[in-house]
Chain A
Amino acid sequence: MTAGKRSGRETFWMVLTGITGVLILIGLYMSLMWAPTAANLPTVNEQLAQRIFYFHVSAGWVGYVAFGVTAAASVLYLIKRQRRFDNIAVSSAEIGVVFTAANLVSGSIWARPTWNTWWTWDDPRLTLAAIVLMVYIAYLMLRNAIDDPERKARLASIYGIVGFISVPLSFVSVRIWRTIHPAVIGTASETSQGGFDMSGNMVIVLLFSIFTFSLLYFVLLHYRLCLEDQRVELEEYKMAALAEA
């Protein structure tokens, strides 16, 4: 057991977790208090709701990054056949699902005061997020329906790749759809209804928020991977015990 090295790595992740926690608190302060109010929004409700934007965009960003990581890890798994890559793929997909769901819920909360509706199919980004969420829920369901670990990893990798390829095509399809279709509620995008001008400080807060969320993603991915490693190890002990019999 390389105790020194291992504890060094553990210290690194503990420090990083702590830093992420502090950054989240700073981020909350920045987005809720420090960031300037979007002056051109007509009502106070809309101005307050606009502050969810920092959270909403960052969560969406992490979702897509996570799914990109899943696709890359899936390709690597099919080439290298190392369990590690499949662990990364599934861990990242789970985190991606959580953040994409957070993106949808926060979008919905923001939409209520701004567009006067919880949900609109007229916004291509919202629609796309819903489709992508379904792709990765299907990915997790597929994994759940296969027992053999090797087969699970292999088939899930295939779906992880095909699913990721479909995302830009889905985006193009909802984009074309909503730019040529007469909008039913309000207008097609948030830049016209509930849109606002980004001042310099807003950009800073947004970038800070995206950075913090990305850091959170890596920390979560690390812990999820540790969990997966332990689960695999446990499974191996079980199999070894069975083989012994």
Chain B
Amino acid sequence: MSFLRKVMAIVWKDVRAELRTKDILSSMLVFSFLTVLIFQFAFDLRTSVVNLVLPGVLWIAITFAGVLGLNRSFILEQDRGSMEGLLMAPMDRSAIYFGKLIGNLLFIFVMELVLLPLMTVMFNVSLLAPAILLVVFLGTIGYAAVGTLFAALSINTRAREVMLPVLLFPVMVPVFVAGVQATGRLLDGDTLADIARWVQLLAAYDGIFIAAAMILFDYVVEE
């Protein structure tokens, strides 16, 4: 119980600071919107092909913009040395991981809550269906679970901001493939039952990597 309270204290601290500066949210929102815009120019997303390309555009926007938020989450702690304060607190260090994971998820979800309606309007497709929201939800959890672990890892490297996508993208292929395929099939009119295998894969990915990160995070932050 006290573990959970400390996790939430970290979330509260990050959300509080973010609401004041809006650094992470604004950069993620603008970047995701720019990504969509660039794809619009690149592929001229007319209604005839939009269902083929749009799922990919959606997931690329989430992935690329997400990296910005993930990177910030630990760089902010490291630049002022405040990570030490968290490491010295009387709690299991995985509390830091879960605090950061939940914070990152909240920021990415907020970005998606703006991005999805925006794309729905811009391309005249219904991205706000419950099944699509479920796929996006599960995919985002897996993405952030691995991303938060790797963000903590990459701040210890020389090229820290550049390192995160290099480390993250090959490992998140299953999320990306499942996300794009499931979103595409749902747009084509399939039901949730038709894409059950993708949903199962996403759920399995989430579970496996949250468990792995929980164990491995201790090794990332020890010094």
Do any CB atoms of chain A lie under 8 A from CB atoms of chain B in the complex? yes
A residues bordering B, Cβ < 8 Å? 78, 131, 134-135, 138, 141-142, 145-147, 151, 154-155, 157-159, 161-163, 165-166, 169-170, 172-174, 176-177, 180-181
* Residues of the A chain whose Cβ atoms lie less than 8 Å from the Cβ of B108: none
- Other contacts beyond A138-B170, A165-B209: 20, CB < 8 A: A135-B170, A138-B166, A141-B163, A142-B154, A145-B157, A146-B156, A146-B158, A151-B223, A154-B219, A154-B222, A161-B212, A162-B150, A162-B212, A162-B213, A166-B170, A166-B171, A173-B173, A174-B177, A176-B197, A176-B201
**CB of B74 within 8 Å of the partner chain:** no
Docked-complex contact A166 and B173, CB < 8 angstroms: yes
CA distance A163 to B153 in the complex (A): 13
The answer to whether A177 touches B158, judged by C-beta atoms less than 8 angstroms apart, is no
A60 → chain B closest CB, angstroms: 18
Chain B hits for A170, CB < 8 A: 173-174, 177
- Residues on A with C-beta less than 8 A from B213 are 162
* Cα separation A89 to B154 with both chains bound (whole Å): 19
| B61 CB to nearest chain A CB (Å) | 20
Shortest Cβ distance from A29 into chain B, in angstroms?
38
Contact across chains for B178 and A173 when beta carbons are under 8 A apart = yes
CA distance A158 to B156 in the complex (A): 13
Picked from A135, A142, A165, the residue with its CB within 8 Å of the CB of B157 is A142
Verify A173–B201 contact, CB threshold 8 A.
Answer: yes
Majority secondary structure, A binding face: helix
A151 lies within 8 A of B166 (CB): no
- The verdict on A169 contacting B208 (CB below 8 Å), with A131-B173, A162-B146, A174-B177 known, is yes
CB–CB B166/A155 < 8 A: no
The answer to whether the Cβ of B113 comes within 8 Å of any Cβ in the partner chain is: no
Contact A158/B216 with A131-B173, A135-B170, A169-B204 known, Cβ cut-off 8 Å:
yes
Within 8 A of A (CB), among B97-138: none
Q: Is B9 an interface residue (CB 8 A)?
A: no
How many residues of chain B get a CB closer than 8 Å to chain A's CBs? 35
Q: Given A172-B174, A173-B177, does the pair A151, B146 have CB atoms closer than 8 Å? A: no
* Docked pose: A166 CA to B143 CA in angstroms: 12
Pick 5 A–B contacts, CB within 8 A, sort by A.
Answer: A131-B170, A141-B166, A161-B212, A169-B201, A173-B177
Contact B174 A173 (CB under 8 A): yes
A145 near B163: Cβ-Cβ < 8 Å: yes
Are B219 and A157 neighbours in the complex by a CB distance under 8 Å? yes
B-chain residues with CB within 8 Å of residue A141 when the two chains form the complex: 163, 166
C-alpha gap A162/B217 in the complex (Å): 11
B174 contacts A169, C-beta separation under 8 Å: yes
CA distance A150 to B158 in the complex (A): 15
B172 CB to nearest A CB, Å: 8
Interchain CB contact (< 8 A) of A177 among B167, B171, B177:
B177
B158 touches A147 (CB 8 A): yes
B220 contacts partner chain A, Cβ-Cβ < 8 Å: yes
Q: Collect the chain A residues with CB atoms within 8 Å of residue B204's CB.
A: 169
Chain B residue with minimal CB distance to A135? Answer: B170
Chain B residues contacting A146 (CB-CB under 8 Å) are 156-158
- Chain A residues contacting B220 (CB-CB under 8 Å) are 155, 158
Check B205 for interface membership: any CB of A closer than 8 A.
yes
Complex-state Cα separation, A128 to B146, whole angstroms? 19
B219→A135 contact, CB < 8 A: no
Contacts of A155 in B (CB 8 A): 153, 156-157, 220
**Cβ of A176: which chain B residues have Cβ within 8 Å of it?**
178, 181, 197-198, 201
Could you say which residues of chain B place their CB within 8 Å of the CB of A138?
Answer: 166-167, 170
Q: Cα distance A165–B204 when bound, in Å?
A: 12
Q: Compute how far the CA of A145 lies from the CA of B166 in the bound complex, rounded to whole angstroms.
A: 12
B14 to chain A, nearest CB (A): 23
State A159–B169 Cα separation when bound (angstroms).
13
For residue A130, give the distance in angstroms from its CB to the closest CB of chain B: 10
- State in angstroms the CA–CA spacing of A74 and B46 once bound together: 49
Question: Is there contact, CB below 8 Å, between A158 and B219?
Answer: yes
